[in-house]
Amino acid sequence: MKLERHFPQVRDLAPLMHFATPEFNAKKRRLEKALTIHDLRAIAQKRTPKAAFDYTEGAAEAEISLARARQAFEDIQFNPSILRDVSVVDTSSTVLGGPVALPFGIAPTGFTRMMQSEGEIAGAGAAAAAGIPFSLSTMGTTAIEDVKAANPTGRNWFQLYMWKDRDRSMALVDRAAKAGFDTLLVTVDVPVAGARLRDKRNGFSIPPQLTLGTVVNAIPRPEWWINFLTTEPLAFASLDRWSGTVGELLDTMFDPTVTFDDLAWIKDQWPGKVVVKGVQNLDDAQRLATMGVDGIILSNHGGRQLDRAPIPFHLLPDVAREVGKDLEVHLDTGIMSGADIVAAIALGADFTLVGRAYLYGLMAGGREGVDRMIEILGDQIARTMRLLGVTSLAELTPTHVTQLERLAPRALSIPAATAPRPAAKSSATKPRTSPPKAGPRKSPIAG
């Protein structure tokens, strides 16, 4: 049969043609085009000077820990159920005694106004609007009281590094308690600063150094410099001024003598919930459970401390199984999507924290960029839950996720010199004329 053709009439085309209303707000236009956290990262890189962007992006030494943490989330298989009514999905839960609208909060980040001039005020305001917690770092660039003002009725958490100057550390804790912060995050994986080589190579310092390279890099990023030079001078929640690199600052502050006894003392000083951030093995998690802390955060500091550190997502199932009834288990490091968060909750996490994702949003568009980051993750969480066939976080279980194996520990081989000697044989026993056959050696599995 021959296909008949005719010239289309305007009345036939009209229902098929819908022109989008043009968006004249450049910031809103670029944020609407961002569909993933990786998209926000690309925008952030274009708008932020290299030294500041690399401080967010970088990790310690060869940055292996961060790469492995992100790879671990990619190396999973979801196991969905079908024919479930998922018309309504609830992403809320109760965390540390209070409500949260989504299973993630904003992690504590240092030097935040260096990334974008709105800094913690943007993060706290966005968190308040979304109904999630905001965490202020000891190395934050906004005063404790100002963060409280930006998030007056929401969940504010304060992250503490124990300094060599204990009185100064505890003065911050006292200020946070008086301001109504409900949770103290005690970070325990920083006896000294990690080797953050990008910062050294960039000469990243507080305040920024104006070199020829800095000026050249700033030419296509005038908005960042205009904001930096015309807003309140960079200051810190915890100190007034510093002249030197970030690593040098950290090494003058952090106390390598802190022990479990110090942690117990800190716990006694704080009236709210206490969570220990930086747990990287099961033994420490079990010891903290016996101390009566309210929660732990499995974290290798975003790969910024010990390179080749354990992968928090891999630790999660064992830790959740062993101590999850005694305290809350939270997770950070490597999260770049809502699917990552759903996988963590399914494998036993009560909550997660996002750091780089938050800063990518902040650098991409200030407060509106953080709002967009939360919106992206929230949409991804709800969609992943629907596709898995669950309607609440409580319905997620380890059966929904399979962790595929890429790196596996290699079996230990005992050198002959240290191997136990066999029992002495009688002279009637026939001597062995050849060495025993070696068993097969296990090797890492390439996924």
Distance CA 286, CA 383 (A): 35
Taking phi over 0 as left and psi of -120 to 50 as alpha, with beta for the rest, 6 belongs to beta
Q: 18, 301, 330, 400: which is the annotated catalytic residue?
A: 301
Q: For residue 388, give both structure tokens.
A: 């898995």
φ, ψ dihedrals at 160, nearest 5°: -115, 130
Q: For residue 369, give both structure tokens.
A: 């960029």
Q: DSSP secondary structure string, 23-71?
A: ---HHHHHHHH--SHHHHHHHHHHHS-HHHHHHHH--STT-HHHHHHHH
Give Cβ neighbours of residue 108 (< 8 Å, ≥ 6 apart): 135, 136, 137, 138, 140, 157, 159, 185, 187, 355
CA within 13 Å, CB half, 441: 7
Distance CA 209, CA 216 (A): 13
How many residues can be counted in the chain? 447
What is the SS3 string spanning 287-318? HHHHHCCCEEEECCHHHCCCCCCCCHHHHHHH
DSSP secondary structure letter of residue 102? S
The rounded Cα 344 to chain-centroid distance in angstroms is 12
Distance CA 269, CA 166 (A): 12
Catalytic status, residue 301: yes
Q: Looking up tokens 């599995």, which residue turns up?
A: 445
Distance CA 78, CA 61 (A): 33
Distance CA 373, CA 375 (A): 5
Q: Residue 133 in contact with residue 159, Cβ under 8 Å?
A: no
Strand partners, 330: 297, 351
Distance CA 234, CA 363 (A): 16
Q: For residue 260, give both structure tokens.
A: 């479990």
Q: How far is CA 446 from CA 73, 389, 406, 440, 443, in A?
A: 16, 31, 5, 17, 9
Q: Which residues are catalytic?
A: 301
